[in-house]
Structure 1
């Protein structure tokens, strides 16, 4: 890494001050750990909304704010990331909700490229689950500090010390609890603040739709109220003190330890404590590093990177929106930026702040903020936008797909809509679209990390583009990058197929399975077969 060049050393102190107020973070978890519920609860406690809802709400409860897509509300899962901008006290919180299902981990990976901190959400009964482990590996690879929130403490679960031990043993992250529950999982009484020893007694709000009532008590009052449960909690706290499980900022920022908080998102228990920890502990935006390894101060001229594309959030206008994380500088609506990939100007007349599916015009923004640029047909995931001296940030890599299917239009008269829809889903990264001379553009191959992505394709092609598709699944499980010199040999291999990815024109070889791959590599030692990225690391299957 090199120091900033002379062209970027002139910085704006006002921009740096605004950047210091920002906290940009994501929530990561295994499916059903309560991620969308926690996202809603954080927005509720920050007074961004007046009542929290559930995906399958009853009575007058609304749908979860971040789950805006019809398919999300129908299935009760998050299948696309969403951005929520919340003003809280003197801070601006940029909360990026992510898909919880493993099949959409590529979307989550892109979001993690745009945050400065992550909340790792654990189910109190299940602890660390497979998808949580994968996402933590991505956080570690990207050096994203992690705050842990143990959720669902109002339901039966495991011992708190057992959960802490699992975190340290399985992922090598030293847990440092900031608070401690009084009452076992399923009998949640309240929380002890390890900083001052005070006790917060929690009272459930009807239906969990509003903030839980909290009562602050000193140690003597708490002991009298909670009896044996208080005594047990104090004994556990003494043990934490003996083993040195205390918050340490340098190790947290280095990704070596994780502050831990306990709570229950559905009844809004412990959410205000998590919110305060985010404000106090989560890092503000740091000076970004460009693709050449040069540091660009946050106060330098504007630069930002597209980390997500999304079409048709507004069904009335059928628009295409680019989500841009601001890396440096002061953004003003209407400014003309340079698109680094093409060198062409890009006007920002239509720039918005997004709160779930709701949007409002944004006139100014600073490092750490996420802006949504409307009708961004020229932009793609990973693109850099800037003013002043040229800058380009490192590309956001695609995951190695494991599932493949041929797509065909069910109605030949809707072929133009079919082409438009497939191209849009490719640009968004919903699936990777592969073409070849053998199959032709009328039958592209869709490549996905998980099979649920194909359900999204069928739903969106029918509902948004009015071009229903038929999908024929292919018996391939691996993709490898090759080159023009190896392509003729690869074309003739049994159990393999050569395709060109439309987005970057790289040649990919699809292979039936890892056993067939080993045979091909053994019999063709000079054949170029380069692993792709999988889960933030090289796919070495």
Structure 2
């Protein structure tokens, strides 16, 4: 949970006295915790590889997809190297000058969005990578939304400047219009496409080139004559853009003075940290051009841990919000943000927000109060690790031997603090999974591990068919886990046809007054519940169901209220239209009646369950289906055929854009209508079209579709009951 960094700087100026060690303060000021995020195929992992090479973290450069039989350092999983995509976020650290940079490289595919979510939750800044041709795409918009959710300042890097059709200024316009960010270029390209050879630094007004093997030598020269006028125009544009968000530059601009390079650098830093401005740099990672300038910008413009305010909730003071102090002499507070099963047991990634961590120390789990000894502390470099004895405030590390869940808070026992967890989206697709062999032990072990690692991967057993059902963010997401089960646990599985994760919800309020009564000799069952159910919107954490107890006077004894809530929650598990979970529903329990002998927890749980089932139909329930944001790119000659295919699938075309020979379309289509679209698009575009798909929301199905789904569910139930 973060607040404005602007307010924060004022606070830290008066709070530095809390730091007893000047060298620690200097170390914190030289630390950067950053993430690298992008739409798939923007060159993000290639950029990470070049960063590690130029900082001396690795001795040689390897390519994505393992084309050189090695593969990119940060894509360490065999599956990642085969498919050429990042599946899991990977952490590393490196030195650039006297700055320490902790980096998390995240996936670009929408199916693995939770990896981006949990990385951004614990980072202080980010680099948003965009393709110089494709620009802002569907996952770019998703990542932008995630960065805004966690108030993460960012630098934008326009990559692939060597590609035909590269146009950084069009991309900057898209950043401004599609992402609604106040942005300006800090550089302009020298040459374009195949002739791209360097950049002009618009702050210092110098040309920057990369020379030597793999561009290791950065050479500074005068601006080429043919670019002097453009460079001056873009320099003026940068000054005007900064004048809109920074008072110091505004005063200089209004006085018709020229800001110095130092004044501009300071203004870019202030405005970036305050999230009022996004600087845009450009280069080509694959051509080893302008990556060092990006590293300079990370250190110059993104915040250090003392410039971002993080909060915890004080559990002893009614979850009062308290600011954390990122100094090692404070009581320890850390957040577990990612779990991984390694050959030495569970590996837990941790961000240290306050205090320090020492090997062998005892940690207290904030939720359970349980004390745990930490036997091993490491720092990560992709899938390699370095044992360390100590990690200070602001740093990122990993630890073994700690049993916890992603999002858990740890302290040293001095404070009852808990940090807010990350947003976890609901799964949109499911399929049945059956092991071919009888090795159910490994099957269960794999499912348990995957669920623990990934909050968006869910498993349940269908109560009617007794099938194991896995749910996730897309077909690729589930395919990867099925493949991992085969490779890592030697369990081959048969998968069923993908199913859409429908939801049910109510559209109006309805009152209930239900008595559950059962007598069969001896003590019976009696419970009466009175109240109402009503629709509700999801809160900030994505929760869309709620149980509210308004019973007064003891008509329902307080020890039976939790049983009432359990009855309501059980009713939500399977809706009464098509058996899918119910969301967007609040139950308010107002009154009831208990019997001195026959009332029990079971009686009130059943009373609430049956009351919910009875009143459900009166609340006008509807079936909700996942609606997807679909981004399509194809040659312009196929535009008519592509848009026609979207209309045929009852999609809504939100936006279209033509870029020379290609066009892109943004559409909203129900997931149920998207099955088989990859084949149709290939056919309609002679294999030249591609699309991405990301969950947007759940929306009511059309009335005739609801009738069909209810009838299909009825027939299925009849067949199972024969």
**TM-score of the pair, normalised by structure 2:** 0.64
Aligned to 2:20: 13
Aligned to 1:356: 382
Q: 1:83 aligns with which of 87, 91, 111?
A: 91
**1:297–1:232 Cα change, 3 Å:** closer
**1:175–1:344 Cα change, 3 Å:** same
How far is 1:499 from its partner?
A: 9.4
Q: 1:497 aligns with which of 580, 597, 619?
A: 580
**1:150–1:195 Cα change, 3 Å:** same
Gaps of 5+ in 2: 244-263, 314-318, 505-543, 548-566, 584-614, 630-693, 700-722
Larger displacement relative to structure 2 (457-466 or 241-250): 241-250
Kept in 1, the 8 Å contact 2:202–2:234? The answer is no
Aligned to 2:42: 33
Query: How many angstroms apart in 1 are the aligned matches of 2:100 and 2:198?
Result: 28
The secondary structure found in structure 2 opposite 1:294 is strand
Query: How many angstroms apart in 2 are the aligned matches of 1:486 and 1:477?
Result: 18
- Is 1:119 aligned with 2:127? yes
Listed one character per residue, the Cα deviations across residues 298-319 of structure 1 (whole Å, up to 9, x for unaligned) are 122111111111113x4xx4x2
Query: How many angstroms apart in 1 are the aligned matches of 2:338 and 2:182?
Result: 32
The secondary structure found in structure 2 opposite 1:43 is helix
Aligned to 1:380: 405
Kept in 1, the 8 Å contact 2:209–2:218? The answer is yes
The secondary structure found in structure 2 opposite 1:165 is helix
The secondary structure found in structure 2 opposite 1:113 is helix
The secondary structure found in structure 2 opposite 1:155 is coil
Aligned to 2:424: 398
Gaps of 5+ in 1: 501-520
How far is 1:249 from its partner?
A: 3.4
How far is 1:62 from its partner?
A: 3.5
Query: How many angstroms apart in 2 are the aligned matches of 1:302 and 1:490?
Result: 39
How far is 1:410 from its partner?
A: 2.0
**1:47–1:458 Cα change, 3 Å:** same
Query: How many angstroms apart in 2 are the aligned matches of 1:529 and 1:345?
Result: 45
Query: How many angstroms apart in 2 are the aligned matches of 1:76 and 1:270?
Result: 24
The secondary structure found in structure 2 opposite 1:139 is helix
Query: How many angstroms apart in 2 are the aligned matches of 1:301 and 1:10?
Result: 16
Q: 1:525 aligns with which of 619, 622, 643?
A: 619
Kept in 1, the 8 Å contact 2:341–2:347? The answer is yes
- Is 1:325 aligned with 2:362? no
- Is 1:259 aligned with 2:279? yes
- Is 1:421 aligned with 2:446? yes
Kept in 1, the 8 Å contact 2:71–2:81? The answer is yes
**1:417–1:524 Cα change, 3 Å:** farther
Q: 2:335 aligns with which of 298, 302, 305?
A: 305
Q: 1:337 aligns with which of 341, 351, 363?
A: 363
Q: 1:134 aligns with which of 129, 142, 152?
A: 142
Greater relative CO, 1 or 2 (CA 8 Å, sep 6+): 1
Query: How many angstroms apart in 1 are the aligned matches of 2:29 and 2:217?
Result: 31
**1:35–1:454 Cα change, 3 Å:** same
The secondary structure found in structure 2 opposite 1:371 is strand
Listed one character per residue, the Cα deviations across residues 252-271 of structure 1 (whole Å, up to 9, x for unaligned) are 22323101111111122111
Q: 2:501 aligns with which of 462, 477, 486?
A: 477
Greater helix fraction, Structure 1 or Structure 2 = 2
**1:524–1:296 Cα change, 3 Å:** farther
Aligned to 1:184: 192
- Is 1:92 aligned with 2:92? no
How far is 1:444 from its partner?
A: 3.2
Query: How many angstroms apart in 1 are the aligned matches of 2:98 and 2:575?
Result: 63
How far is 1:434 from its partner?
A: 3.6
Aligned to 1:371: 397
Query: How many angstroms apart in 1 are the aligned matches of 2:32 and 2:241?
Result: 31
Larger displacement relative to structure 2 (242-251 or 185-194): 242-251
C-alpha RMSD of matched pairs (Å) = 3.4
**1:496–1:9 Cα change, 3 Å:** farther
Listed one character per residue, the Cα deviations across residues 136-162 of structure 1 (whole Å, up to 9, x for unaligned) are 011112111110001011222343322
How far is 1:418 from its partner?
A: 1.0
Listed one character per residue, the Cα deviations across residues 286-341 of structure 1 (whole Å, up to 9, x for unaligned) are 342013321121122111111111113x4xx4x22111111111111111111112
**1:130–1:331 Cα change, 3 Å:** same
Residue-pair matches, total = 500
The secondary structure found in structure 1 opposite 2:114 is helix
Kept in 2, the 8 Å contact 1:19–1:366? The answer is no
- Is 1:296 aligned with 2:321? no
Aligned to 1:228: 226
Aligned to 2:607: none
Kept in 1, the 8 Å contact 2:574–2:582? The answer is no
Kept in 1, the 8 Å contact 2:350–2:399? The answer is yes
**1:538–1:122 Cα change, 3 Å:** closer
Aligned to 2:269: 249
Larger displacement relative to structure 2 (34-43 or 430-439): 430-439
Kept in 2, the 8 Å contact 1:52–1:62? The answer is no
Q: 1:214 aligns with which of 215, 218, 224?
A: 218
**1:417–1:436 Cα change, 3 Å:** closer
How far is 1:241 from its partner?
A: 4.5
**1:244–1:110 Cα change, 3 Å:** closer
Larger displacement relative to structure 2 (362-371 or 125-134): 362-371
Aligned to 1:275: 295
